[in-house]
């Protein structure tokens, strides 16, 4: 082998919190509303125009004319408006390729407020303090942002290591800036590290086949047995959230049908959103740290191919055929959504690749019902949610149910029963024939 290193370009992202003045925050809100309105006008133009006259040039001309005719659309920088056009056409390409649904109208209350800055040279980033930096935002001015990671600026920036743009995003905790960073890094060599199967659960977030389970220490259920939907909040925050929800319900009782929310009710809802967003950030922080450790420790990570959308569907049913155990299923759906299994798999996918490892998916059916010691499925083995007891007379193995599933997941990979997605996009199962089930060790 040659001693020369192989290099590859990587597109990274870094999100930082902005410190805006009230005037700057209002200007930022105006730009976000203008960007959303530009998307809606572009969508109306595209859907109402005959197919023979639809083109990128015609849409660009329509946007330019709209910015001249509608004065408040001018608060959005021209490059940001062009970024909306580019994003809209990419959404249609994703639809045509079968990766997403058709682009639709963006409602004010359901859309994320965001503004794109497509060119990195407009940012003019400068570090002014150990904890703070300055960034230039078009038509806003110089704004401070929280410095938590070294960025390729100044003498550290070149054509291979640079910031190519940014995106301004608003959530319940305020405005943030997400930098798009392009770097040139040595391509990691394939790692021959240990293999591990991971089962995502509710009681145990990430159960590993080698017994090195990852738990965030926040129980999924309260002492009375009900699901804890606010487990990422401390006791004081839970008490505050309860008071705010009671206050919101009281103020909402005075609201007439189809009447606009009062400022007091809207303020209460904003405070509830802030607590929810804080809990989400804590959960994502734990997942980032945990998946980083797993990607650096193991060479091959095996997970289940789960259809989480179908797993969290409501059991309410219809009027003619009502569902059963609706409340229990609702609590389970809420717990699954809180654990964010799909986000954890996404993190593991790119982190294992960056560390030279691989991530493999295996079919999910019966991984939690099959005994990892004897390979048989017997009725009554799952007496409760946390324990697995094999009812086979020749086995009798018992252990943690999530650990048992993780061992089965690793065993499916070892016998070649893996999940692959061919070029056509249709999922198939690849299996090695002639291999009998055996204990996953």
Question: If DSSP codes are grouped into helix, strand and coil, which group holds residue 146?
Answer: strand
Helix axes 78-96 and 56-69, enclosed angle (nearest 10): 140
HEC sequence for 19-39: ECCHHHHHHHHHHHHHHHHHH
- CA dist list (Å): 394 to 374, 381, 400: 9, 14, 19
Predicted TM-score (pTM) of this structure: 0.81
Phi/psi of residue 55, each to 5°?
-160, 160
Question: Going residue by residue through the chain (441 aa), what tens digit of pLDDT does each one get?
Answer: 445 668 888 888 999 999 999 999 999 999 999 999 999 999 999 999 888 888 888 999 988 998 888 889 989 999 999 999 999 999 999 999 988 899 999 998 888 999 999 999 889 999 998 999 999 999 999 999 999 999 998 888 888 899 999 999 999 999 999 999 999 888 888 888 898 998 888 878 888 888 888 888 887 677 766 667 788 889 899 999 999 999 999 999 988 888 888 999 999 999 999 999 999 999 999 999 999 999 999 988 999 887 777 767 776 666 566 666 667 767 777 777 777 888 888 999 989 988 888 898 888 888 888 888 887 887 777 777 778 888 777 887 888 888 888 888 888 888 887 764 333 333 334 443 333 344 433
One DSSP character per residue, 191-204 reads: P---EEEEEE-SSS
- Residue spans of beta strands (DSSP E) within 112-161: 114-117, 126-127, 132-137, 141-146
H or E, element range at 44: helix 22-48
Could you tell me the two tokens for 246?
Answer: 């009671």
HEC sequence for 331-360: HHHHHHHHHCHHHHHHHHHHHHHHCCCEEE
């Amino acid at each position: 082998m040659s001693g020369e290193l192989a290099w590859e370009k990587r597109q990274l992202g870094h999100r930082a919190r902005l410190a805006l003045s009230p005037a700057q925050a209002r200007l930022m809100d105006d730009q976000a509303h203008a960007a959303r309105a530009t998307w809606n006008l572009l969508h109306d133009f595209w859907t109402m125009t005959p197919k023979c006259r639809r083109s990128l040039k015609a849409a660009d001309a329509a946007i330019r004319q709209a910015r001249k005719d509608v004065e408040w659309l001018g608060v959005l920088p021209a490059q940001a408006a062009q970024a909306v056009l580019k994003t809209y056409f990419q959404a249609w390409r994703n639809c045509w390729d079968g990766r997403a649904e058709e682009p639709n109208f963006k409602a004010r209350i359901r859309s994320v407020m965001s503004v794109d800055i497509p060119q990195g040279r407009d940012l003019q980033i400068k570090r002014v303090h150990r904890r703070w930096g300055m960034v230039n935002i078009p038509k806003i001015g110089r704004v401070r942002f929280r410095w938590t990671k070294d960025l390729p600026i100044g003498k550290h920036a070149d054509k291979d290591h640079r910031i190519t743009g940014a995106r301004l995003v608003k959530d319940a905790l305020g405005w943030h800036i997400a930098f798009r960073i392009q770097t040139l890094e040595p391509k990691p060599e394939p790692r021959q590290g240990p293999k591990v199967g991971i089962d995502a659960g509710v009681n145990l977030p990430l159960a590993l086949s080698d017994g090195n389970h990852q738990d965030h220490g926040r129980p999924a259920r309260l002492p009375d047995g009900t699901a804890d939907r606010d487990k990422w909040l401390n006791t004081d925050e839970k008490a505050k959230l309860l008071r705010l929800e009671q206050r919101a319900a009281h103020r909402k009782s005075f609201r007439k049908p189809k009447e606009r929310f009062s400022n007091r009710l809207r303020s209460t809802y904003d405070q509830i959103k802030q607590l929810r967003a804080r809990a989400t950030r804590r959960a994502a922080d734990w997942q980032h740290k945990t998946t980083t450790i797993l990607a650096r420790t193991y060479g091959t990570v095996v997970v289940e191919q789960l259809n989480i959308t179908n797993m969290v569907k409501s059991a309410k049913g219809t009027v003619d055929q009502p569902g059963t155990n609706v409340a229990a299923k609702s609590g389970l759906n809420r717990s699954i959504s809180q654990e964010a299994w799909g986000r954890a798999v996404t993190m593991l996918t790119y982190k294992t690749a960056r560390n030279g490892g691989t991530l493999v998916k295996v079919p999910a059916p019966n991984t939690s019902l099959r005994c990892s010691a004897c390979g048989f499925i017997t009725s009554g083995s799952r007496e409760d949610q946390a324990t697995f007891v094999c009812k086979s007379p020749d086995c009798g193995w018992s252990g943690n149910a999530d650990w048992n599933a993780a061992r089965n997941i690793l065993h499916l990979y070892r016998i070649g029963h893996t999940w692959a997605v061919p070029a056509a996009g249709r999922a198939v199962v690849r299996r090695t024939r002639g291999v009998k089930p055996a204990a996953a060790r």
